[in-house]
Structure 1
Amino acid sequence: MDIYLEKLHSADAEELFTFERNNRTFFEEMVPTRGDEYYNFETFQRRHESLLNEQAKGSSRFYLIKDKNSLILGRMNLVDIDEIHGIGHLGYRVGQIHTGKGIANRALNLLVVKVKDEGRIKQIKAKTTSNNIASQRVLLKNDFEHVGTSDEVFSICNRELQFLYYNWTGMSN
């Protein structure tokens, strides 16, 4: 499946809201919930506009992972960008029906290539939950190095989890 990354736009709000709502249960098995209020369209719309403002200021980059028909398959974000030190923080999610197809791996590769080509970000930090083996594999396949595990233990779906931390330094091929 051919995919591409497209910067987030105002016009994406409705389709993105549907994507998030349709995948809520799946996402909340792996990551902490965004809360019920997030799934109210008016709240979502305000948050969407806030993300677009962050993107316009350069402190974050929000991308949609899309297929050749422009269907949203997932999201890929760089947030809390520190331009002075060249550091960004990665976040991504792929819809449940699109998992297991290599989409996250290809999308992250596209993002890493974009970052390398631009040359401004030299380090990307990422974290995932200890139960998200697929995400751990995606990070490792894209030259991220596991650099630590949180001491904090938290519960999602009655499972005790920890955050695992990863870094990409741009030094790899």
Structure 2
Amino acid sequence: MLTLEPLRPDHAEALLAFERTNRAYFARSVPDRGDAYFAEFADRHAALLAEQAEGTCRFHVIRDAAGNLVGRVNLVDLAGGTAELGYRIAESAAGRGLATAAVAEACRLAATAYGLTALTAATTFDNPASQAVLVHNGFRFSHEFLLGDRPALAYRRYLAALG
């Protein structure tokens, strides 16, 4: 059981702790955010909240059954009925189906609450777990590209059946 909560100002402290705790873990499969991200986290958090208020992005934290913040799932660049999906699950919560469930819920919200008709997502070649999450949730391979300096795969999912 998990819940997705829209990003709020009071999530800042727990979200920063989540990102710091999992920084090395995430850097194994996605480009590192860099030191500036952590040094300027308060400003970054405020900017995300402003983007969300404008309706151009939808940011969520993921809480497990015990209420712990164990991840995040975001829909960014909402335009023309589409958005890009991104997600992160804490190393301590990996392998329990939380990413699969969070992506399923994000797809449902995208279609029903946000009026989107399609989502795109990307993952690096060396992240088969993320690839499996996307495929399990109905995403289909689109093309290869470079994510920073890393080979990556792009996926797309149409949401019309959910709306």
Relative to the length of structure 1, the TM-score reads: 0.89
Partner Cα distance (1:30, 1:86) in 2: 29
Partner Cα distance (1:153, 1:164) in 2: 9
Q: Which runs of 5+ in 1 are unaligned?
A: 156-160
1:25 alignment partner in structure 2? 24
Which of 122, 138, 159 aligns to 1:143? It is 138
1:94 partner amino acid? I
Partner Cα distance (1:119, 1:27) in 2: 28
**Identity rate, percent:** 36
| 8 Å Cα contact 2:121/2:156 also seen in 1 | yes
| 8 Å Cα contact 2:111/2:160 also seen in 1 | no
Summarize the alignment of residues 96-135 of structure 1 with structure 2, pairs less than 5 Å apart.
96-118=91-113, 120-135=115-130
Alignment of 1:167 onto 2:156:
yes
Post-superposition CA distance 1:116-138 (Å, at most 9, x none): 22361001011110001000000
Secondary structure class of the residue paired with 2:31: coil
Which of 64, 69, 81 aligns to 2:66? It is 69
Secondary structure class of the residue paired with 2:22: helix
Post-superposition CA distance 1:45-75 (Å, at most 9, x none): 1000000000000000000010233210100
Secondary structure class of the residue paired with 1:90: strand
Partner Cα distance (1:17, 1:70) in 2: 16
Summarize the alignment of residues 37-76 of structure 1 with structure 2, pairs less than 5 Å apart.
37-40=36-39, 43-76=40-73
How far 1:172 sits from its partner (Å)? 5.0
Relative to the length of structure 2, the TM-score reads: 0.94
| 8 Å Cα contact 2:124/2:147 also seen in 1 | no
How many residues get paired? Answer: 162
Partner Cα distance (1:141, 1:132) in 2: 14
Q: Which runs of 5+ in 2 are unaligned?
A: none
Secondary structure class of the residue paired with 1:143: coil
Partner Cα distance (1:48, 1:154) in 2: 23
How far 1:106 sits from its partner (Å)? 0.4
2:97 partner amino acid? G
Which of 86, 90, 96 aligns to 1:95? It is 90
Structure 1 residues 5 and 153, CA gap change in structure 2 (3 angstroms): closer
